[in-house]
Amino acid sequence: MNATSRSYASEAVGSFLLFATVIGSGIMAQRLAQGNLAVALLGNTLATGAMLFVLITMLGPISGAHFNPAVTLIMRLRGDISTRAALGFCLSQLTGGLIGVWIAHAMFDLPIWQISQHLRAGPGQWLGEGVATFGLILTILGTVHSRPAWVPASVALYITAGYWFTSSTSFANPAITIARAMSDTFAGIAPTSVPGFIGGQVAGALVAYAVARILFVEKAAA
Protein backbone atom coordinates (compact mmCIF):
# COMPACT_ATOMS: atom_id res chain seq x y z
CA MET A 1 0.00 0.00 0.00
CA ASN A 2 1.43 3.38 -1.00
CA ALA A 3 1.53 6.48 1.21
CA THR A 4 -1.63 7.99 -0.29
CA SER A 5 -3.66 4.84 0.23
CA ARG A 6 -2.34 4.55 3.78
CA SER A 7 -3.42 8.11 4.53
CA TYR A 8 -6.94 7.44 3.22
CA ALA A 9 -7.11 4.24 5.26
CA SER A 10 -5.93 6.17 8.32
CA GLU A 11 -8.69 8.74 7.91
CA ALA A 12 -11.31 6.02 7.43
CA VAL A 13 -10.18 3.95 10.44
CA GLY A 14 -9.85 7.02 12.65
CA SER A 15 -13.28 8.30 11.68
CA PHE A 16 -14.75 4.83 12.21
CA LEU A 17 -13.45 4.68 15.78
CA LEU A 18 -14.24 8.32 16.57
CA PHE A 19 -17.81 8.22 15.27
CA ALA A 20 -18.45 4.85 16.91
CA THR A 21 -17.23 6.38 20.16
CA VAL A 22 -19.51 9.42 19.89
CA ILE A 23 -22.61 7.32 19.15
CA GLY A 24 -21.76 4.32 21.34
CA SER A 25 -20.84 6.38 24.40
CA GLY A 26 -23.99 8.44 23.90
CA ILE A 27 -26.13 5.29 23.93
CA MET A 28 -24.31 3.87 26.97
CA ALA A 29 -24.44 7.17 28.84
CA GLN A 30 -28.15 7.60 28.22
CA ARG A 31 -28.90 4.08 29.43
CA LEU A 32 -26.85 4.45 32.62
CA ALA A 33 -27.79 8.06 33.46
CA GLN A 34 -31.45 7.18 34.17
CA GLY A 35 -32.76 10.40 32.64
CA ASN A 36 -30.06 12.74 33.99
CA LEU A 37 -28.96 14.55 30.82
CA ALA A 38 -26.00 16.24 32.51
CA VAL A 39 -24.56 12.87 33.53
CA ALA A 40 -25.24 11.48 30.05
CA LEU A 41 -23.46 14.39 28.40
CA LEU A 42 -20.53 14.03 30.77
CA GLY A 43 -20.12 10.36 29.84
CA ASN A 44 -20.34 11.20 26.14
CA THR A 45 -17.80 14.01 26.59
CA LEU A 46 -15.14 12.02 28.43
CA ALA A 47 -15.24 9.11 25.98
CA THR A 48 -14.97 11.41 22.96
CA GLY A 49 -12.09 13.43 24.39
CA ALA A 50 -10.18 10.31 25.39
CA MET A 51 -10.62 8.69 21.97
CA LEU A 52 -9.49 11.85 20.18
CA PHE A 53 -6.24 11.85 22.15
CA VAL A 54 -5.57 8.21 21.27
CA LEU A 55 -6.44 8.54 17.59
CA ILE A 56 -4.44 11.72 16.95
CA THR A 57 -1.43 10.28 18.74
CA MET A 58 -1.66 6.99 16.83
CA LEU A 59 -2.68 8.14 13.34
CA GLY A 60 -1.33 11.68 13.19
CA PRO A 61 2.01 10.56 11.70
CA ILE A 62 0.19 8.75 8.88
CA SER A 63 -2.47 11.20 7.67
CA GLY A 64 -2.36 14.17 10.01
CA ALA A 65 -5.40 12.75 11.81
CA HIS A 66 -7.99 15.15 10.40
CA PHE A 67 -11.15 12.96 10.76
CA ASN A 68 -13.00 16.15 9.83
CA PRO A 69 -13.70 17.83 6.45
CA ALA A 70 -13.42 21.26 8.08
CA VAL A 71 -9.84 20.46 9.12
CA THR A 72 -9.12 19.02 5.67
CA LEU A 73 -10.48 22.20 4.04
CA ILE A 74 -8.13 24.38 6.04
CA MET A 75 -5.14 22.15 5.34
CA ARG A 76 -5.96 22.43 1.63
CA LEU A 77 -6.14 26.23 1.87
CA ARG A 78 -2.76 26.18 3.60
CA GLY A 79 -1.36 24.12 0.75
CA ASP A 80 -0.50 21.19 3.02
CA ILE A 81 -2.44 18.72 0.83
CA SER A 82 -3.66 18.65 -2.78
CA THR A 83 -7.27 19.04 -3.89
CA ARG A 84 -7.36 15.38 -4.92
CA ALA A 85 -6.05 14.27 -1.53
CA ALA A 86 -8.53 16.54 0.25
CA LEU A 87 -11.44 14.97 -1.62
CA GLY A 88 -10.09 11.50 -0.83
CA PHE A 89 -9.79 12.43 2.84
CA CYS A 90 -13.38 13.71 3.01
CA LEU A 91 -14.76 10.59 1.32
CA SER A 92 -12.73 8.37 3.65
CA GLN A 93 -13.91 10.29 6.71
CA LEU A 94 -17.59 10.04 5.82
CA THR A 95 -17.41 6.40 4.74
CA GLY A 96 -15.49 5.24 7.80
CA GLY A 97 -17.64 7.36 10.07
CA LEU A 98 -20.95 6.00 8.77
CA ILE A 99 -19.70 2.45 9.28
CA GLY A 100 -18.75 3.44 12.82
CA VAL A 101 -22.28 4.72 13.50
CA TRP A 102 -23.84 1.51 12.19
CA ILE A 103 -21.45 -0.66 14.18
CA ALA A 104 -22.35 1.30 17.33
CA HIS A 105 -26.01 0.55 16.70
CA ALA A 106 -25.23 -3.12 16.20
CA MET A 107 -23.20 -3.31 19.43
CA PHE A 108 -26.19 -2.07 21.41
CA ASP A 109 -28.73 -4.26 19.57
CA LEU A 110 -30.43 -1.29 17.92
CA PRO A 111 -31.72 -1.07 14.34
CA ILE A 112 -28.75 -0.44 12.04
CA TRP A 113 -30.60 2.00 9.80
CA GLN A 114 -31.98 5.02 11.64
CA ILE A 115 -32.89 8.63 10.92
CA SER A 116 -32.58 11.04 13.83
CA GLN A 117 -35.58 12.97 15.11
CA HIS A 118 -33.46 15.18 17.38
CA LEU A 119 -33.98 18.76 16.19
CA ARG A 120 -31.04 21.08 16.80
CA ALA A 121 -31.85 24.36 15.10
CA GLY A 122 -31.88 28.11 15.51
CA PRO A 123 -29.37 30.98 15.36
CA GLY A 124 -27.95 30.17 18.79
CA GLN A 125 -27.03 26.63 17.82
CA TRP A 126 -25.65 27.72 14.43
CA LEU A 127 -23.52 30.30 16.20
CA GLY A 128 -22.46 27.62 18.67
CA GLU A 129 -21.19 25.47 15.80
CA GLY A 130 -19.37 28.44 14.32
CA VAL A 131 -17.66 29.16 17.63
CA ALA A 132 -16.91 25.48 18.24
CA THR A 133 -15.26 25.02 14.84
CA PHE A 134 -13.45 28.36 15.05
CA GLY A 135 -11.90 27.29 18.35
CA LEU A 136 -11.03 23.81 17.09
CA ILE A 137 -9.22 25.05 13.97
CA LEU A 138 -7.45 27.79 15.92
CA THR A 139 -6.38 25.21 18.50
CA ILE A 140 -4.95 22.96 15.80
CA LEU A 141 -3.13 25.70 13.88
CA GLY A 142 -1.84 27.41 16.99
CA THR A 143 -0.58 24.23 18.61
CA VAL A 144 1.02 23.01 15.38
CA HIS A 145 2.81 26.35 15.21
CA SER A 146 3.94 26.55 18.84
CA ARG A 147 3.90 23.07 20.42
CA PRO A 148 3.40 20.32 17.80
CA ALA A 149 3.84 17.51 20.33
CA TRP A 150 0.83 18.84 22.25
CA VAL A 151 -1.65 18.61 19.36
CA PRO A 152 -3.34 15.36 20.58
CA ALA A 153 -3.86 16.70 24.09
CA SER A 154 -4.87 20.19 22.94
CA VAL A 155 -7.52 18.95 20.50
CA ALA A 156 -8.88 16.40 22.97
CA LEU A 157 -9.13 18.97 25.73
CA TYR A 158 -10.68 21.58 23.46
CA ILE A 159 -13.44 19.22 22.32
CA THR A 160 -14.01 18.15 25.93
CA ALA A 161 -14.54 21.80 26.84
CA GLY A 162 -16.55 22.47 23.69
CA TYR A 163 -19.19 19.89 24.61
CA TRP A 164 -19.99 22.08 27.62
CA PHE A 165 -19.43 25.71 26.67
CA THR A 166 -21.18 25.74 23.28
CA SER A 167 -24.94 25.71 22.79
CA SER A 168 -24.63 22.98 20.14
CA THR A 169 -22.39 20.62 22.19
CA SER A 170 -19.58 21.16 19.66
CA PHE A 171 -20.06 18.85 16.69
CA ALA A 172 -17.44 21.00 14.86
CA ASN A 173 -17.25 18.46 12.03
CA PRO A 174 -19.38 18.25 8.85
CA ALA A 175 -18.81 14.50 8.42
CA ILE A 176 -19.87 13.63 11.93
CA THR A 177 -22.87 15.96 11.57
CA ILE A 178 -24.04 13.98 8.53
CA ALA A 179 -23.31 10.66 10.24
CA ARG A 180 -25.14 11.65 13.41
CA ALA A 181 -28.24 12.33 11.31
CA MET A 182 -28.24 8.57 10.72
CA SER A 183 -28.63 7.80 14.43
CA ASP A 184 -31.84 8.39 16.37
CA THR A 185 -29.98 8.24 19.68
CA PHE A 186 -28.68 10.66 22.32
CA ALA A 187 -26.00 12.05 19.97
CA GLY A 188 -28.20 12.32 16.88
CA ILE A 189 -29.28 15.34 14.85
CA ALA A 190 -32.30 15.57 12.58
CA PRO A 191 -31.43 15.80 8.86
CA THR A 192 -33.27 19.12 8.60
CA SER A 193 -30.87 20.58 11.18
CA VAL A 194 -27.73 19.45 9.32
CA PRO A 195 -27.37 22.31 6.77
CA GLY A 196 -27.41 25.00 9.45
CA PHE A 197 -24.77 23.17 11.47
CA ILE A 198 -22.50 22.63 8.48
CA GLY A 199 -22.87 26.27 7.43
CA GLY A 200 -21.78 27.38 10.90
CA GLN A 201 -18.87 24.94 10.87
CA VAL A 202 -17.51 26.10 7.51
CA ALA A 203 -17.87 29.75 8.47
CA GLY A 204 -16.10 29.18 11.80
CA ALA A 205 -13.28 27.27 10.12
CA LEU A 206 -12.67 30.04 7.56
CA VAL A 207 -12.64 32.75 10.21
CA ALA A 208 -10.16 30.71 12.27
CA TYR A 209 -7.95 30.31 9.20
CA ALA A 210 -7.91 34.09 8.69
CA VAL A 211 -7.19 34.80 12.36
CA ALA A 212 -4.42 32.19 12.47
CA ARG A 213 -2.67 33.87 9.54
CA ILE A 214 -2.47 37.01 11.66
CA LEU A 215 -1.56 35.43 14.99
CA PHE A 216 0.81 32.64 14.05
CA VAL A 217 3.38 34.28 11.84
CA GLU A 218 6.40 32.18 10.99
CA LYS A 219 9.69 33.65 12.17
CA ALA A 220 11.93 34.88 9.40
CA ALA A 221 15.16 33.00 8.88
CA ALA A 222 18.17 34.63 10.49
* Tally of structural domains, the chain: 1
- The CATH number covering residue 145 comes to 1.20.1080.10
Asked, for residue 222, whether it belongs to a domain, the answer is no
Residue 220 lies in a domain: no
Give per-residue pLDDT as tens, 137-175: 999 999 999 999 999 999 999 999 999 999 999 999 999
Written as one string, the DSSP assignment of the chain is: --HHHHHHHHHHHHHHHHHHHHHHHHHHHHHHHTT-HHHHHHHHHHHHHHHHHHHHHHHHHHH----SHHHHHHHHHTTSS-HHHHHHHHHHHHHHHHHHHHHHHHHTT--SS--------SHHHHHHHHHHHHHHHHHHHHHHHH-GGGHHHHHHHHHHHHHHHSTT-----HHHHHHHTT--STT---GGGHHHHHHHHHHHHHHHHHHHHHH-PPPPP-
Predicted TM-score (pTM) above 0.85:
yes
Question: Does residue 221 belong to any structural domain of this protein?
Answer: no
Q: What is the mean pLDDT of residues 73-100?
A: 97
pLDDT confidence of residue 219: 57
pLDDT of residue 222: 42
- Give a yes or no: residue 17 inside a domain: yes
